[in-house]
Amino acid sequence: MINDREVWERIAESFDKTRRRPWSRCIEFIDSMEKKGLFLDIGCGNGRHLIPAARRSELAVGIDFSINMLKVCRNNLEINKIKNYALLQADARYLPFREERFDYVIFVASLHNIRGRDNRITALREMKRVLKSGGKALISIWSRWQDRFFFHFLKEIFLRNYEEFGDIEIVWKKDNINLPRFYHLYSRRE
């Protein structure tokens, strides 16, 4: 079985072709930044949110556990003539920064890709640890009650093919790539 990191290494370029525009909610968050501070994007992927953040911050830092995603991200930052950035290969559960370092943090479309409830909680604690007191954060996760996940979710329930309730795999089927990506779909209570 292929591990999660290898999946993201192999789909990085294909992912970049399909995920170019930043989410409107992220743009709203970035536009609301009151000062040019330090910005962190946990799970930065191809940099689609890091680019607008760098334009409004002193330094925009992106971390991802996929080196190929970071290569794509660096290329996108350079194409957009962004200079005030730093990229690091890192695990969201073990952020390589001192406490209260960042004014702004986003953890968008990444937390739900971390296997295991304890690991997700550890990643959230790390995010809180590096966020300055009074800093602002934006977190996004996938809800299990979206119509697009209904059949994936039913399949997982009946096959009991999961470690935790809410875990599913969605196959990446683009550019002749056919690989399962892990997601934890959240309930309202979570």
Which pLDDT score is estimated for 25?
A: 96
Q: In what order do the strands lie in the sheet with 131-140?
A: 85-89, 59-64, 38-42, 102-108, 131-140
Which pLDDT score is estimated for 166?
A: 75
Tell me: do 75 and 112 sit in the same domain.
yes
Residues ≥6 apart with Cβ < 8 Å to 79: none
- Structural domain that includes position 153: 147-184
Tell me: do 12 and 94 sit in the same domain.
yes
Give the chain's radius of gyration (CA, Å). 17
Which pLDDT score is estimated for 189?
A: 80
Total of domains in the chain = 2
Tell me: do 92 and 62 sit in the same domain.
yes
Tell me: do 11 and 72 sit in the same domain.
yes
- Domain-located, residue 190: no
Which pLDDT score is estimated for 67?
A: 98
Which pLDDT score is estimated for 156?
A: 60
- Domain-located, residue 161: yes
> What is the model's pTM?
0.89
Tell me: do 162 and 109 sit in the same domain.
no
Tell me: do 58 and 79 sit in the same domain.
yes
Which pLDDT score is estimated for 176?
A: 83
- Domain-located, residue 189: no
Residues ≥6 apart with Cβ < 8 Å to 105: 39, 40, 41, 42, 127, 130, 131, 135, 136, 137, 138
Which pLDDT score is estimated for 177?
A: 80
The tokens describing 112, both together, are 């739900």
Listed as ranges, residues in the chain with pLDDT below 70 are: 1, 142-162
Contact 93, 110 (CB under 8 A): no
Which pLDDT score is estimated for 55?
A: 97
**pLDDT tens-digit profile of 64-113?**
999 999 999 999 999 999 999 999 999 999 999 999 999 999 999 999 99
